[in-house]
């Protein structure tokens, strides 16, 4: 393999999916800068029409794109198809959001003229995508940024470059210039160079807190670049008084193990009332034991596939052993189902007795359980994290939920629903180590354009009424 090559492998088989050349950051950014004025000068209606054409191109290629997502991430085909649907749906949602969040406004005054509010694009935006939703999540930045008049340099995760390439091709077939949406292939080194490049006006990032903090630190002395960070979570799901324990168990399992736990909004910690512990854990374990772990195209379809690679699988099994060695009590073991491939069974461990629970995002099918005596303790335990992305209460009364909602520090707070699966028609983001107060999804329009306030009169008209000598 040449030093300049980037290679992607299927997690489920180890087979090579894609091979390509690492990109030249300077060349790509220079091309984007040359393309930006013409794209920004297009009427908004034209840009909207072009992203609608993009949605049609994705529809035409939906099955092919879903197959590539499934192959490159290892997620089941049913889930990959859902991701492609989200890519298509994002277009109309982004059009509505731009109209609502960045609407032009005028306030007329006969004497003072017109006060106007309009929005301008930033320029060249770097979009850094993750591997878990390699089409949907970067697309959630790209489409709003294009509508606003920005051009894009998209660096997909080095683990999912083929999906990124296919996504870009859909934009190009829709008539959006290959200079307006460019793909930068590469690893962390290229990502760091792109973030720091003088020709980049904004950085839109989805990924780990570690990488997001590094970006934030790198750009701390450069307030001219807009930075939107969507990072991970150590998300709690609290189960309280409810007679519907089977339903509660389903919500817990969906929260913890969908996408093999590789969602930033996945539940990492189950906090349960002491009196419900035994019956609930029995239901959760029974359901987790039934989960089919398999390859994307298996029949019957699996609930979850492998994690992204062997290094990730090794790290998760080591984390499980660490929790076990430091006071954790096994409810369901994490099993490496194949020595040579990253298939893991869903794992559950009681960490109530651990004195110092690590406040980290364990990005995989590993659920930690904590039992508590009262609701105040449940809320305190849920908030015992530096992250603040998603939290759910299952069970309880409306009054309990009001207390939960008021006191939980998170950007997404749900009741009797999973921690994951948020709506694109709402903002998506968190606080603490989960984000920098620039939520994506419906609010992406906010960081894709900046407001410009104007006072306008068609002819100059002015006088000074005080403080002048007689003429």
The Cα–Cα gap between 137 and 113 comes to 43
The Cα–Cα gap between 268 and 89 comes to 28
| 440 and 228 Cβ atoms separated by less than 8 Å | yes
What are the residues facing 372 on neighbouring strands?
Answer: 273
Q: Which of 385, 378, 373, 374 is nearest to 268 (CA)?
A: 385
| 270 and 369 Cβ atoms separated by less than 8 Å | yes
Q: Spot the catalytic one: 83, 230, 283, 381.
A: 230
Give the phi and the psi of residue 444 in degrees, each rounded to 5: -60, -30
Other CB atoms within a 10 A radius of the CB of residue 268 amount to: 26
Q: Which two tokens stand for residue 301?
A: 């379809």
Determine the 3-state secondary structure of 237 from DSSP: strand
Other CB atoms within a 10 A radius of the CB of residue 305 amount to: 27
Other CB atoms within a 10 A radius of the CB of residue 376 amount to: 11
Residues in the chain: 471
Q: Spot the catalytic one: 10, 158, 170, 264.
A: 264
Per DSSP bridges, beta strands 431-432 and 387-388 are antiparallel
| 9 and 71 Cβ atoms separated by less than 8 Å | no
Contacts of 41 (CB under 8 A, 6+ apart): none
Q: Which two tokens stand for residue 410?
A: 């998170």
| Helices of type H across 61-135 | 62-73, 77-101
**How far is C-alpha 355 from the chain's CA centre?**
31
Residue 334 sits at the vertex; the CA angle it makes with 259 and 289, to the nearest 5 degrees, is 70
Q: Which two tokens stand for residue 246?
A: 């089977």
DSSP state of 274: G
| 253 and 287 Cβ atoms separated by less than 8 Å | yes
Does 230 participate in catalysis according to the annotation? yes
Other CB atoms within a 10 A radius of the CB of residue 456 amount to: 10
* Helix-helix angle 44-60:161-173, to 10 degrees: 120
Other CB atoms within a 10 A radius of the CB of residue 337 amount to: 13
Q: What is the enclosing helix (H) or strand (E) of 455?
A: strand 449-456
Does 264 participate in catalysis according to the annotation? yes
Question: Any idea which residues carry the catalytic annotation?
Answer: 230, 264
């Amino acid at each position: 393999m040449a030093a300049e090559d980037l290679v992607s492998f299927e997690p489920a088989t180890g087979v090579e999916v894609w091979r390509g050349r690492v990109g030249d950051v300077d060349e790509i950014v220079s091309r984007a800068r040359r393309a930006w004025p013409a794209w920004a000068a297009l009427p908004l209606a034209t840009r909207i029409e072009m992203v609608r054409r993009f949605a049609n191109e994705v529809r035409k290629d939906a099955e092919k794109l879903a197959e590539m997502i499934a192959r490159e991430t290892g997620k089941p085909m049913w889930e990959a198809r859902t991701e492609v649907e989200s890519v298509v749906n994002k277009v109309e949602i982004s059009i509505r959001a731009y109209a609502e969040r960045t609407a032009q406004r005028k306030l007329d005054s006969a004497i003072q003229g017109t006060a106007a509010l309009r929005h301008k694009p930033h320029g060249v935006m770097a979009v850094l995508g993750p591997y878990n939703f390699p089409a949907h999540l970067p697309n959630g930045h790209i489409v709003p940024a294009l509508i606003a008049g920005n051009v894009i340099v998209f660096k997909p995760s080095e683990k999912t470059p083929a999906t990124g390439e296919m996504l870009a091709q859909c934009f190009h077939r829709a008539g959006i210039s290959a200079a307006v949406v460019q793909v930068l292939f590469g690893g962390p080194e290229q990502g760091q160079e792109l973030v720091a490049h003088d020709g980049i006006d904004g950085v839109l990032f989805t990924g780990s807190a570690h990488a997001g903090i590094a970006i934030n630190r790198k750009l701390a002395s450069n307030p001219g670049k807009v930075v939107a960070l969507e990072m991970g979570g150590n998300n709690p799901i609290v189960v309280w008084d409810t007679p519907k324990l089977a339903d509660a168990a389903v919500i817990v399992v969906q929260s913890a193990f969908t996408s093999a736990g590789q969602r930033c909004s996945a539940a990492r910690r189950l906090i349960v009332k002491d009196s419900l512990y035994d019956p609930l854990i029995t239901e959760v374990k029974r359901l987790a034991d039934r989960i089919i772990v398999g390859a994307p195209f298996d029949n019957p379809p699996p609930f979850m596939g492998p994690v992204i690679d062997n290094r990730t699988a090794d790290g998760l099994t080591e984390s499980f052993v660490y929790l076990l060695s430091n006071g954790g009590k096994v409810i369901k073991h994490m099993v490496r189902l194949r020595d040579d491939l990253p298939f893991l069974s869903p794992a559950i461990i009681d960490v109530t007795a651990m004195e110092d629970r690590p406040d980290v995002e364990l990005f995989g099918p590993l659920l930690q359980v904590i039992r508590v005596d009262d609701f105040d303790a449940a809320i305190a335990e849920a908030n015992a994290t530096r992250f603040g992305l998603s939290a759910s209460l299952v069970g309880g009364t409306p009054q309990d939920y009001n207390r939960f909602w008021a006191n939980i520090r998170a950007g997404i707070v749900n009741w009797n629903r999973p921690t994951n699966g948020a709506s694109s028609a709402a903002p998506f983001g968190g606080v603490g180590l989960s984000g920098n107060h620039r939520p994506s999804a419906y609010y992406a329009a906010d960081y894709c354009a900046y407001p410009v306030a104007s006072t306008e009169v068609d002819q100059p008209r002015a006088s000074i009424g005080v403080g002048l000598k007689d003429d």
